[in-house]
Amino acid sequence: MSLIERKIESLPFVVAELNYLAPTDGKPRTYAFDPPPGEPKSTALPEPHEVPVFDGRSISDSFSLDREGFALVRHPTAVRDFYNDEEIRKVYYPAAESFIRATLRADRVVIFDHTVRRRVEGAADIRGAGPRQPATRIHVDQTDASGANRVREHLPAEADELLKGRVQVINLWRPIRGPLRDTPLALCDAASVATDDLVASDLIYPNRRGETYSVKFNPDHRWFYFPEMTADQALLLKCYDSATDGRARFAPHTAFVDPTTPADAPPRESIELRTLVFHRR
């Protein structure tokens, strides 16, 4: 029994509705733009389940990126305006790259994109049409195939050599303003996820096709969150790991409605930074 399993029964929790993948014929797919006439936006339909989401604050030091697939870290930032794309790239990118490289003892870190989200009541999450909304479907950003493909896409000239070593896709997620009480992030302990729970799903863009994991319901899943995160805290989320030696490879996560959130809580604002992390061994 893991340390987390031994401690979980003593933790406070909320019961929340999380959106798993409903059974579907064929490979699920979602269009990242307006779909062709007659096509649904997505065939990955939600199947809500009420599950306990445990408050991991009191055992935050127990979580490991290589065991549970996520970790809460302290990460102050000098960024003044996260809605200024130039400032993010000039100030946030280099600081985040150095932090991740040092924290993960990596040989190299390459940031390949970021997303700023601001919840607007009733708004749909549509790229290029207003602020991006919290993602309320359980997912993993990459799959076994698409994680390696990210290297080929962003570093084509070096990909063959880089893929000989260990490669990770790590998401650095943080609230822009805190304490965050609205639509926090729920994180699933990777050790509680069976391989068959992960369903490769196509994400179709105008010029390319990506692949993410949707997640089927499993009562064995262990869910955690860190309530009232402040702007100097962040989460490291493992979205892919080429290592197959027993370490966590994929960490499912989702935004969720916390039933204890005060009615006057400011809407969630957050930023996620996606990175390729390379180790020679």
Q: Cα 20–25–29 angle (5° rounding)?
A: 65
- CB 191, CB 248: distance < 8 Å: yes
10 Å Cβ neighbour count for 3?
13
If you search the block for the tokens 């797919």, which residue do you land on? 29
Query: For residues 77 and 255, what is the distance between their CA atoms, to the nearest angstrom?
Result: 23
Q: What is the model's pLDDT at position 34?
A: 83
Distance (Å, rounded) from C-alpha 83 to C-alpha 65? 28
CA torsion sign for 190, 191, 193, 194 is positive
SS3 category, 82: coil
pLDDT confidence of residue 212: 97
Radius of gyration of the chain (CA): 18
Inter-residue contact 279 to 107 (CB < 8 Å): yes
- What parts of the chain have a pLDDT lower than 70? 1-6, 126, 128-129, 281
State the Cα–Cα distance between residues 72 and 78, nearest whole angstrom.
19
Domain boundaries, the chain: 3-7+18-215+227-279
Distances, alpha carbon 74 to alpha carbons 145, 160, 176, 192, 238, in Å: 31, 34, 14, 26, 17
Task: Give the pLDDT score at 7.
Answer: 74
> Which residues are paired to 111 by β-bridges?
275
Q: Report the candidate in 19, 31, 75 with the shortest Cα–Cα distance to residue 253.
A: 19
Q: Which residues of 148-183 are buried (b: 16+ CB within 10 A; e: fewer)?
A: bbbbeeebeeebeebeeebbbbbbbbbbbebebbbb
Neighbouring C-beta atoms of residue 27, cutoff 10 Å: 13
Taken as a whole, the chain contains a residue count of 281
Tell which CATH classification among 3.40.50, 3.40.1350, 2.60.120, 3.30.1370 matches the domain 3-7+18-215+227-279.
2.60.120
What pLDDT shows up at residue 206? 86
The SS3 of residue 8 is helix
The letter for the amino acid at 176 is: I
DSSP character at residue 132:
B
> CB under 8 Å to 176, separation ≥6 — which residues?
82, 116, 231, 269, 270, 271
Backbone angles phi, psi at 10, to 5 degrees: -95, 0
